[in-house]
Amino acid sequence: MTVPLLSVKNLSVSFKTRSGTVKVLDDVSFSLGKGEVLGIVGESGSGKSVLSYALMGLLDENAEIKADAIEFGGIDLAGPNSPLASIRGRELSMIFQSPRTALNPIMKAGRQIEDVLRRHGAVTRSNARAAAIAALEKVRIPDPERRYNAYPFELSGGMCQRVMIAMALSCSPSLLIADEPTTGLDVTTQAVVMDLMRDLVRETRMSSILITHDLALAGEYCDRIVVMHAGHMVEMAPANELRAHFAHPYTKGLFAATPTAHTELEDLSSIPGSLPDLTRDLPSCRFLHRCDRRQPDCETGHVALAPLGNDHSVRCRHPL
């Protein structure tokens, strides 16, 4: 049996706030193989970004993280002596949601890539500039020598995102996490950025986690998809299997709300209701009060993620 690059078992995250404890993630478990692209999909507030920040060790101090295991390349990242700080940016890297916010506005783009390379000992001081320019060239930035000296405000949104990708890939990580990498970009630029990421992942056999609210985008670029709602994994399946045989009512709602090239505006529908208050005691199924298939037995007992076959799992007592 092939050992996965990343294995997460029973990860839960909560935040202590003035309003009480917010239970943002609950019982999240998945694995990621080498060279695989995994999509994490759900509406805003589903816990997608919190999951990525938990894996990277970037959550605030008021976060409480519990997990039976978070193993990366055979290394335990959940224990008290986790080496995460030393491998973050080198073995695990991340593209943040807003490149203009993530980049330092008063530092030249090339110098920011240099800092990453030198921080992890990938280059010497003398060849750092050449390495940074090569990283910009790798992500197909025209005239990389000139863009090296540009400040983020002098670059377009798409160019800033390419700089972020160059920075994230500069140390040849084994795992790249991309958190909503196309936010704020026009449709054409979105396609260019996603095609670039897909090509680079294939060239390097790097594993990747794509976090997005766009189910169609995940279906096009990912091998497997995890669907999240209110901190719960509600469905997980290969991308082709999920499109053909989705089983959770929430996944059905996401597909119904996703436009395609052949969809008319009147054909689209929204998911009724809103996310539950995560500071309160929650039912085992957090989709319960938004679901048109709920039955009396949905309100009692633990609803676990159960296998359906074909590497397909669903958290629902009455799947489609």
Residues 214, 180 contacting (CB under 8 angstroms): no
* Residue 223 within any structural domain of the chain: yes
* Residue 299 within any structural domain of the chain: yes
pLDDT digits (tens, 9 = 90+) for 63-116: 999 999 999 999 999 888 899 999 999 999 999 988 888 999 999 999 999 999
Structural domain for 42, as ranges? 6-83+205-314
| pLDDT score recorded for residue 261 | 75
Query: How many whole angstroms from its chain centre is CA 276?
Result: 22
CATH number, domain of 60, equals 3.40.50.300
Residues 254, 271 contacting (CB under 8 angstroms): yes
pLDDT digits (tens, 9 = 90+) for 33-48: 999 999 999 999 999 9
What is the average pLDDT score of the chain? 93
First-to-last alpha carbon distance for the chain, in angstroms, is 31
Residues 115, 122 contacting (CB under 8 angstroms): no
| pLDDT score recorded for residue 52 | 96
pLDDT digits (tens, 9 = 90+) for 12-24: 999 999 989 999 9
Spatial distance between the Cα atoms of 215 and 227, rounded to a whole number of angstroms: 9
How many independent structural domains does the chain possess?
1
Residues 54, 231 contacting (CB under 8 angstroms): no
Region 252-281: mean pLDDT is 88
Model pTM score: 0.94
The mean-pLDDT minimum among 8-12, 113-117, 186-190, 312-316 falls in 186-190
**What angle, rounded to 10 degrees, do the helices at 109-119 and 157-169 form?**
20
| pLDDT score recorded for residue 179 | 95
Spatial distance between the Cα atoms of 196 and 98, rounded to a whole number of angstroms: 18
* Residue 148 within any structural domain of the chain: no
Q: Which of 6, 18, 21 is nearest to 71 (CA)?
A: 6
Q: Which of 46, 32, 38, 51 is nearest to 219 (CA)?
A: 38
Query: Above 80 in pLDDT, residue 118?
Result: yes
* Residue 187 within any structural domain of the chain: no
Spatial distance between the Cα atoms of 150 and 108, rounded to a whole number of angstroms: 5
Residues 128, 214 contacting (CB under 8 angstroms): no
| pLDDT score recorded for residue 122 | 74
pLDDT digits (tens, 9 = 90+) for 243-258: 999 999 999 999 999 9
* Residue 39 within any structural domain of the chain: yes
Q: Which of 181, 258, 200, 186 is nearest to 227 (CA)?
A: 258
SS3 sequence of the chain? CCCCCEEEEEEEEEEEECCEEEEEEEEEEEEECCCCEEEEECCCCCCHHHHHHHHHCCCCCCEEEECCEEEECCEECCCCCCCHHHHECCCEEEECCCHHHHCCCCCCHHHHHHHHHHHCCCCCCCCHHHHHHHHHHHCCCCCHHHHHCCCHHHCCHHHHHHHHHHHHHCCCCCEEEEECCCCCCCHHHHHHHHHHHHHHHHHHCCEEEEEECCHHHHHHHCCEEEEEECCEEEEEEEHHHHHHHCCCHHHHHHHHCCCCCCCCHHHCCCCCCCCCCCCCCCCCCCCHHHCCCCCHHHHCCCCCCEEEECCEEECCCCCC
Q: Which residue has the higher pLDDT, 153 or 189?
A: 153
Q: Which of 283, 295, 307, 294 is nearest to 230 (CA)?
A: 283
* Residue 190 within any structural domain of the chain: no
Q: Retrieve residue 262's tokens.
A: 């052949």
Query: Above 90 in pLDDT, residue 163?
Result: yes
Number of alpha carbons in the 13 Å side-chain half-sphere of residue 60: 6
pLDDT digits (tens, 9 = 90+) for 214-232: 999 999 999 999 999 999 9
* Residue 94 within any structural domain of the chain: no
> 3 Cβ partners below 8 Å, 6+ apart?
74
Longest dimension (CA), the chain: 69
Spatial distance between the Cα atoms of 116 and 119, rounded to a whole number of angstroms: 5
Spatial distance between the Cα atoms of 303 and 316, rounded to a whole number of angstroms: 7
* Residue 160 within any structural domain of the chain: no
| pLDDT score recorded for residue 69 | 95
| pLDDT score recorded for residue 265 | 82
